[in-house]
Structure 1
Amino acid sequence: MIGIDLHLKLLNLSPFVNRVMIYMQGCFAGGTTLRSAKDLAENNCGACVLIVCPEMMSMYFHGPIRMDPESLVVPALFGDGAATVVIGADPMSTERGLNQLFRACQSIVPNSMHALKGPIHEAGMAIMMSKKILEFLAGCVWDCLSHAL
């Protein structure tokens, strides 16, 4: 699969560098990628893991769908963006990062199966959020923080 990683040629990385692509996962990809990069760096002596996360919400933007006018809410709230970070785990390295990634974890919010949905229509994929999404999040913040810390 040709991916965005092929556009990183400006970095002059070896064509033999191991790559992992996580596509079409939205915000979920950020947590998954941090957790995976931490595991890769800690389990491969001297490894540095480059994370590049582009988010292209504009590809979900299209005219309103008659049956689902709320399909315009998510593209209106969230926009395109990108972030990058290098993760390493060598305690003997002379390089010192700005931050330490102590732990990376994810959680499933109970009863949230329908909080976000992405049905495919004639205009493409539409991302829709439940009006109760804030209730779902508010109800699990304490448990998620307790687990993480």
Structure 2
Amino acid sequence: MPGVDHRVASILGLDPSVRTTMLYVKGCSSASTMLRVAKDMAENNRRARVLLVCAELTLIMFRAPHEDHVETTIMQALIGDGAGAMIVGAEPEDSEERPLFEMVAASQRTIPETTHGAVGQFMEDGFLFCPSFEIPALILENIEQCLLDALRPLGFNGGWNELFWAVHPGGRAILDNMEEALQLEPEKMAASRYVLSEYGNMSGPTVIFVLDEIRRRHDEHQGLGVMMAFGPGVVVEMMVLHACNTSRNPA
């Protein structure tokens, strides 16, 4: 303390009256959680702009395999450090601002009895994160119901291939099971698979990289889509997005 929020405000020369909020220990769902909170902030302060900054130093999880948790070896193959930022606001100025995505609705669902699914603990030799081998199966079994619960209030009842998908690529098995559960066409996960192959699992910021890749592939992603990430709990963070004329935006 003080937190990195004060450091960022100082580096950017923001007014001392700027209001900051820090979120910690959200794991891979942190950027999605931050977007949900930023949406609420922006809609309750219509002229404000919210700077969202998400950074993860996953190097602290790089370690020799724990004798009681051999599953930690998975993380050694997947992890990477990363940081991303976005600006969120309501009522954009047409003459100056060109939004990339509209956040239509946000929701959070906790899969029951899954507190063992993603467990982390600070220890003398660093941060021990133990992802359960059950996570891909839990997603396979529960993800469609989570989506229906979130999208039915919007009048959407299926047709998953009609949407574009910005899914946190926690690992290949998670993306494979998403495709299987929702019967998605292979290209629907292309952006997530690309980010995983190029940068690895950067925890929270990864989904920001996926959104940026979708922006680059604007011809493939139009209309409504779903952003999704999975965090400790196991919690499923979901955001219904609308791509706002992405072809007009610079690459």
Corresponding residue for residue 61 of structure 1: 62
Corresponding residue for residue 131 of structure 1: 133
Paired residues of 2:120 and 2:127 also in contact (CA < 8 A): yes
Which deviates the most, 23-32 or 2-11?
A: 2-11
CA–CA separation in structure 2 for the residues paired with 1:55 and 1:143: 30
Paired residues of 1:120 and 1:126 also in contact (CA < 8 A): yes
What SS does structure 2 have at the residue aligned with 1:118?
Answer: strand
Paired residues of 1:31 and 1:106 also in contact (CA < 8 A): no
Paired residues of 1:58 and 1:75 also in contact (CA < 8 A): no
The alpha-carbon distance between structure 1 residues 13 and 120, as it changes in their structure 2 partners (threshold 3 A), is closer
With structure 2 as the length reference, what TM-score do the two structures score?
0.54
* Higher relative helix content: 2
Cα displacement (A) at 1:28: 2.6
The answer to whether residue 44 in structure 2 is matched with residue 43 in structure 1 is: yes
Corresponding residue for residue 19 of structure 1: 20
Structure 2 unaligned residues grouped into runs of 5+: 152-251
Corresponding residue for residue 32 of structure 1: 33
The size of the alignment, in residue pairs, is 148
Corresponding residue for residue 3 of structure 1: 3
Structure 1 unaligned residues grouped into runs of 5+: none
CA–CA separation in structure 2 for the residues paired with 1:44 and 1:24: 27
What is the identity, as a one-letter code, of the residue corresponding to 1:2? Answer: P
Paired residues of 1:53 and 1:84 also in contact (CA < 8 A): yes
CA–CA separation in structure 1 for the residues paired with 2:83 and 2:33: 16
CA–CA separation in structure 1 for the residues paired with 2:77 and 2:130: 11
What SS does structure 2 have at the residue aligned with 1:112?
Answer: coil
% identical aligned pairs: 37
CA–CA separation in structure 2 for the residues paired with 1:121 and 1:45: 43
* Higher relative strand content: 2
CA–CA separation in structure 2 for the residues paired with 1:20 and 1:119: 23
Corresponding residue for residue 78 of structure 1: 79
The higher-RCO structure (CA 8 Å, 6+ apart) is 2
Paired residues of 2:117 and 2:132 also in contact (CA < 8 A): yes
CA–CA separation in structure 1 for the residues paired with 2:25 and 2:117: 17
CA–CA separation in structure 2 for the residues paired with 1:121 and 1:66: 14
With structure 1 as the length reference, what TM-score do the two structures score?
0.87
Cα displacement (A) at 1:127: 0.4
Superposed CA deviations along residues 107-145 of structure 1, whole A, max 9, x for unmatched, are: 111232211111344313200111111110111211222
Which deviates the most, 137-146 or 73-82?
A: 73-82
What is the identity, as a one-letter code, of the residue corresponding to 2:60? Answer: M
Paired residues of 1:50 and 1:86 also in contact (CA < 8 A): yes
Paired residues of 1:31 and 1:104 also in contact (CA < 8 A): no
Corresponding residue for residue 122 of structure 1: 124
RMSD, aligned CA: 1.8
Paired residues of 2:38 and 2:52 also in contact (CA < 8 A): yes
Paired residues of 2:46 and 2:89 also in contact (CA < 8 A): no
